[in-house]
Amino acid sequence: MQPGELIVGDRGARAPRGDDLARAWAVLAQVMDPEVPVVSVVDLGIVRELDWRAGHLHLVVTPTYSGCPATEVIEADIRQALEQAGFPAPELERQLTPAWTTDWLSELGRERLRIYGIAPPQGSANKRSLLGEAPQVCCPQCGSAQTELLSQFGSTACKALYRCRECLEPFDYFKCI
């Protein structure tokens, strides 16, 4: 799929009902990121718009980065969940600009990352890029700020590998981007 391309299923359109958008948001809140299965697409902030167009639910989705290998899986999971919830042929539009940023993560998403053992991004991606400051990364296991960067690359491209100097546990840090 190309950026901006719409994906439309085979089934026909229908008229929206009063609670459809709220129900669709609730369905999307249950669609988890395949790489971090405790964070939903809503928690990630990648669903940018949700509305009705020509009798179809229309979503604008911004991947966490343009080369994310999970993008197509996430889009298929979104479509499947919405169709199973009674939204025939949802239209997904992939939008690359503005680029996704960790600033779009919800507070619930950040807390879920921490509980899962991944240190959530610290501060604002916009401010960090302007000031060039290093993040203060706390250990998600024990909460210590005594941590060290082991590698700029963790289990996925969007994470860095850290180690806690207190409990000695290694952990991923979800980079500010």
Write the single-letter amino acid at 53. R
pLDDT per position as a tens digit, 2-57: 444 444 443 566 666 778 999 999 999 999 999 899 999 999 999 999 999 888 89
Residue with more model confidence, 135 or 148: 148
If phi > 0 it is left, if psi is from -120 to 50 it is alpha, else beta; for residue 169 that is beta
Beta bridge mates, 91: 58
Average the pLDDT over 161-170 and give the result: 96
* Domains (range + CATH), the chain: 6-94 (3.30.300.130), 105-174 (no CATH)
Strands across the sheet containing 56-61: 6-7, 91-94, 56-61, 47-53
Torsions phi, psi for 114 (to 5 deg): -60, -50
pLDDT per position as a tens digit, 94-137: 999 999 999 999 999 999 999 999 999 987 666 544 455 667 89
- pLDDT at residue 9 in the model: 44
Contact yes or no for 147/162 (Cβ under 8 A): yes
Report d(CA 85, CA 98) in Å as an integer.
29
- pLDDT at residue 155 in the model: 84
Average the pLDDT over 148-177 and give the result: 91
Report d(CA 130, CA 14) in Å as an integer.
47
Average the pLDDT over 83-103 and give the result: 93
Neighbour tally for 102: CB within 10 Å: 23
Contact yes or no for 151/157 (Cβ under 8 A): no
Q: How much is the pTM? A: 0.80
- pLDDT at residue 15 in the model: 65
Structure tokens at 140: 């998600």
Hey, is 124 helix, strand or coil?
A: coil
- pLDDT at residue 147 in the model: 96
Residues in the chain, overall count: 177
Contact yes or no for 92/79 (Cβ under 8 A): yes
Residue with more model confidence, 110 or 1: 110
- pLDDT at residue 5 in the model: 43
Contact yes or no for 177/102 (Cβ under 8 A): yes
